[in-house]
Amino acid sequence: MAGGNKKTALITGGSSGIGLEIARELAARGYNLLLISNQSEALNASKKQLESNYSVSFDTFHCDLTDADSAHKIFLMTKELGIEVEILVNNAGILLFSEVAGLENSRIQAILQLHVHTPVMLCKLFGKEMKKRQSGYILNVSSISAVMPYPGISLYGPTKTFLRYFTRSLRHEMKIYGISVTCLLPGATLTGLYDPNKINLSLALRTGIMQTPEFVARKAVRALFRNKPECVPGWINKLTVMLLPLIPRSLIYFIHKNTKILQKGKESLS
């Protein structure tokens, strides 16, 4: 149990991928952890794995972050347990490849809730506590797709764009109180979303087109503690962020119309 006498890092989507690797980075730095996820089995497995490798305390909270009151539930839980959240990491997300017209209303609402409402409310609730203490860190995980959303992720990209610019504004608001706010914009990251039978993952990693979650997490945590406004891990991703806005819209339309890049219905959680 992570007590209030030791500072804690709260990580949403902390049961796998980038979130789990950020948890490792922070545990190695001596922070207690509170991992939030709706994947109970993965959450428990991650907790056991981390407990066997790090001498810090761990709490988990099984919570559906697509619920409208999830942020409030999490905040009340930390109060009841006496947990002081020194670091807030809004990492949870849904990457869904599909045309908007083909999505169920419930899936649209879930993505908007998860990428917009819940992280904003968590920043508000825990940011208010950090403001009182005049200390704290907030890391919001966006995406390089925030730079230029494209067909097939018409909800994912724009909601991540909102999160990017929200983080910029929040950074200015919180800076005068001594609070570090950073936005992470990862590119393609090695997760279960990518089929090794269709994509040469080893080549993608060697060339830098794809990054490992460990690499992304290490860069993100370093940027957070150095009070950097944004973190774009990897030189190819940095180049992509600069070049994507220059691509003509007509070319995007042509690619969408004449290729099978759009993988309808495919989904990944973080």
CATH of the domain at 187: 3.40.50.720
CB 94 within 8 A of CB 267: yes
| Domain total of the chain | 1
Please indicate, yes or no, if residue 17 is contained in any of the structural domains: yes
> Looking at the domain assignment, is residue 3 inside a domain?
no
Across residues 7-23, what is the average pLDDT? Answer: 94
Looking at residue 270, its pLDDT comes to: 63
Q: Are strands 266-269 and 94-97 parallel, antiparallel or unpaired?
A: antiparallel
Write the pLDDT tens digit of every residue in 193-218: 555 565 666 765 666 667 789 999 99
Residue 96 lies in a domain: yes
Domain hosting 261: range is 8-269
- Rounded to the nearest 5°, which phi and psi values hold at 181? -125, 125
* pLDDT for 241: 79
pLDDT by residue (tens digit) across 142-156?
998 888 767 667 788
**Is 2 contained in some domain?**
no
Q: Specify if 154 maps to a domain.
A: yes
> Do 146 and 140 form a contact (C-beta atoms < 8 A)?
no
Tell me if 1 is assigned to some domain: no
Q: Quote the tokens at residue 15.
A: 């049961």
For the cut 70, the answer to whether the pLDDT of residue 116 exceeds it is: yes
List of E strands, the chain: 8-12, 32-37, 58-62, 85-90, 94-97, 136-141, 179-184, 230-231, 266-269
Instruction: Yes or no: say if 153 and 145 are a contact pair by the CB < 8 Å rule.
Output: yes
Rounded to 5 degrees, φ, ψ at 28 are -65, -25
- Are residues 146 and 185 in contact, defined by beta-carbon separation less than 8 angstroms? yes
- 140: Cβ contacts below 8 Å, ≥ 6 apart: 90, 119, 123, 163, 164, 166, 167, 181, 182, 183, 184
